[in-house]
């Protein structure tokens, strides 16, 4: 099912003629007085002539601009591409995320070519890593359901990075990590982009097994009979209205002598009609993406396993299809969740928190050092933070490091509070709590609901926990930008990998 897109990454230094490609990409920034040609491997004479013609060519240096001109003989490439990096900040070097986006944008727009050489400024190995990551994410396409590929451009297959660090001993691990990150992000995108006719609970579980092949991970699947028998009332309550019954998938990477133990819980609603509380028809097709959280935590674990990090990481994929039928849960039903708490379902379209609650309880029973859940949970997240910034809520000991990891990875997250006055709005007259509460600040209300299911550690304290709401940034309905294509973005994989790396560094 998962036909992943991967790019081959390499690096060179010195003469470009020794490694000719189809296109050479150099950077242009927006300076206070107009476009500025950035550091590049061209001869001084060629660079000076090119810089003088930028305005005439209509090159501005704006982000996402990729202006093509005929190649220069000294480069060996048929096309020279002037890639915009955006506004320059005085003498400040380009940020890693700026380089990541510029590389990704150029590679994305050069689809149809086989080999692209990126000659963006790299002042450190971290800069090289950013360029490589951007390229790996830019080289993506999703065409498996097209009956004909006529008119479609295949993504770039080979990316060569021109850098002074080409002979550095630390380069190969940098390129290998970038390739793994790109693979994980692109696999997440492909799962999210799948139509619900093809990706449903059973096939999602099969995809998890398929993607895990060759990696030191263990995959365990709960089918509807086992879920019913063991009391996973949230997952069963949401999924029982569909002819395609729910699944819980556990993906465990447990290396010897693990320095820490992290649990990841992902929302996997393969399609969300809203159930009996049915959604409006307009835009409902986007609800194929309501399983993005589960795709994220799955591919995060696989990336960490591929990197061989000595940290135990377990993903819990809470998978169901939310459909209206004679078997579906009704408003006013009471569900007994895994672990015994009861929830009154006041709105069947607040279903994600129900499946996630079961997963959080299951994760808690293994006493991890931290639990992080990822979900396309609320429309309120878009109202609060827009289309590109995820909200993170929970214990400061987890949300702070997550924000730092996101900053390092180049992803946008913003910490939000969990005001105590929101909890009483979840009180129910007939059960332990209701599945909806205060509408204003609904992103935070949903997180307060999830917090009720976080277990205690062996000392009796609540396990450190954080919730990431990715309803907006996980799916791009606008124009492509940077390394992001239309539809699935694969966001949060990079943040979680960086978080685990930071946890490992802190234990060293």
Q: Which residues are catalytic?
A: 279, 353
- Cβ-contact 158, 10 below 8 angstroms: yes
Cβ-Cβ contacts under 8 Å for 421 (sequence gap 6 or more): none
Q: Phi and psi dihedrals of 334, rounded to 5?
A: -120, 125
Q: Are strands 34-37 and 23-31 parallel, antiparallel or unpaired?
A: antiparallel
Question: With 0-12 CB in 10 A as exposed, 13-18 as middle and 19+ as buried, what is 308?
Answer: exposed
Give the number of C-alpha atoms closer than 13 A to the C-alpha of residue 133, restricted to the C-beta side: 26
State the Cα–Cα distance between residues 130 and 490, nearest whole angstrom: 16
- Tell whether 358 is in a known binding site: no
**β-pair partners for 392:** 415, 468
- Tell whether 349 is in a known binding site: yes
Give the number of C-alpha atoms closer than 13 A to the C-alpha of residue 212, restricted to the C-beta side: 22
Find the helix or strand (DSSP H, E) in which 176 lies: helix 171-193
- Tell whether 168 is in a known binding site: no
**Which of 430, 453, 440, 308 shows the shortest CA–CA distance to 373?**
453
Find the helix or strand (DSSP H, E) in which 375 lies: strand 370-375
Cβ-Cβ contacts under 8 Å for 53 (sequence gap 6 or more): none
- Tell whether 366 is in a known binding site: no
**Which of 170, 73, 167, 192 shows the shortest CA–CA distance to 126?**
170
- Tell whether 267 is in a known binding site: yes
* The 3-state secondary structure of 15-49, one letter per residue: CHHHCCCCEEEEEEEEECCEEEECCCCCCHHHHHH
State the Cα–Cα distance between residues 132 and 126, nearest whole angstrom: 10
For residue 469, CA distances in Å to 156, 247, 270, 410 come to 32, 22, 17, 17
State the Cα–Cα distance between residues 56 and 34, nearest whole angstrom: 12
Which residues line the annotated binding site? Answer: 267, 272, 290, 349, 351
Which residues line the annotated binding site for Mn(2+)? Answer: 267, 272, 290, 349, 351
């Amino acid at each position: 099912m998962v036909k992943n897109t991967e790019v081959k990454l390499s690096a060179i230094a010195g003469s470009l003629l020794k490694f000719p490609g189809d296109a050479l990409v150099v950077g242009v920034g927006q300076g206070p007085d107009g476009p500025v040609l950035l550091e590049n491997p061209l001869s001084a004479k060629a660079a000076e002539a090119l810089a003088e013609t930028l305005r005439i060519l209509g090159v501005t240096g704006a982000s996402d601009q990729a202006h093509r001109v005929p190649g220069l003989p000294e480069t060996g490439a048929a096309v020279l591409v002037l890639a915009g990096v955006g506004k320059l900040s005085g003498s400040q070097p380009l940020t890693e995320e700026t380089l990541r986006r510029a590389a990704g944008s150029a590679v994305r727009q050069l689809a149809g070519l086989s080999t692209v050489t990126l000659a963006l400024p790299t002042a450190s190995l971290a800069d090289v890593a950013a360029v490589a990551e951007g390229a790996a994410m830019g080289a993506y396409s999703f065409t498996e359901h097209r009956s004909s590929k006529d008119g479609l451009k295949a993504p770039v297959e080979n990316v060569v990075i021109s850098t002074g660090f080409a002979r550095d001993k630390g380069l190969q691990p940098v390129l290998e990590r970038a390739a793994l990150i790109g693979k994980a992000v692109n696999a997440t995108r492909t799962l999210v982009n799948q139509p619900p006719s093809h990706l449903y609970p059973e096939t999602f579980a099969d995809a998890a097994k398929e993607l895990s092949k060759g990696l030191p991970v263990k995959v365990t699947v709960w089918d509807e009979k086992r879920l019913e028998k063991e009391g996973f009332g949230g997952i069963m309550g949401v999924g029982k209205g569909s002819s395609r019954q729910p699944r819980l998938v556990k993906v465990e990477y447990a290396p010897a002598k693990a320095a820490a133990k992290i649990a990841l819980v992902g929302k996997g609603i393969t399609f969300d009609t809203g159930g009996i509380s049915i959604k409006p028809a307009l835009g409902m097709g986007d609800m194929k993406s309501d399983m993005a959280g589960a795709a994220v935590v799955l591919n995060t674990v696989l990336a960490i396993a591929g990197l061989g990090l000595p940290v135990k990481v377990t993903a819990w994929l809470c998978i169901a299809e939310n459909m209206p039928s004679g078997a579906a849960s009704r408003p006013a039903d009471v569900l007994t969740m895994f672990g015994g708490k009861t929830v009154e379902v006041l709105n069947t379209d607040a279903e994600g928190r129900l499946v996630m609650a079961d997963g959080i309880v299951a994760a808690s029973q293994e006493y991890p050092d931290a639990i992080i859940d990822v979900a396309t949970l609320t429309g309120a997240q878009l109202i609060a933070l827009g289309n590109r910034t995820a909200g993170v809520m929970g214990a400061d000991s987890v949300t702070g490091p997550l924000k730092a990891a996101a900053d390092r990875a180049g992803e946008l997250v913003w910490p939000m509070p969990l005001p105590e006055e929101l909890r009483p709005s979840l009180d129910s007259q007939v059960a332990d709590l209701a599945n909806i509460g205060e509408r204003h600040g609904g992103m935070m209300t949903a997180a307060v609901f999830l917090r009720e299911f976080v277990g205690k550690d062996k000392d009796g304290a609540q396990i450190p926990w954080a919730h990431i709401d990715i309803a907006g940034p996980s799916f791009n309905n606008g124009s492509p930008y940077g390394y992001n294509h239309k539809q699935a973005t694969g966001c949060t994989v990079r943040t979680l990998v960086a978080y685990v790396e930071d946890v490992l560094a802190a234990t060293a």
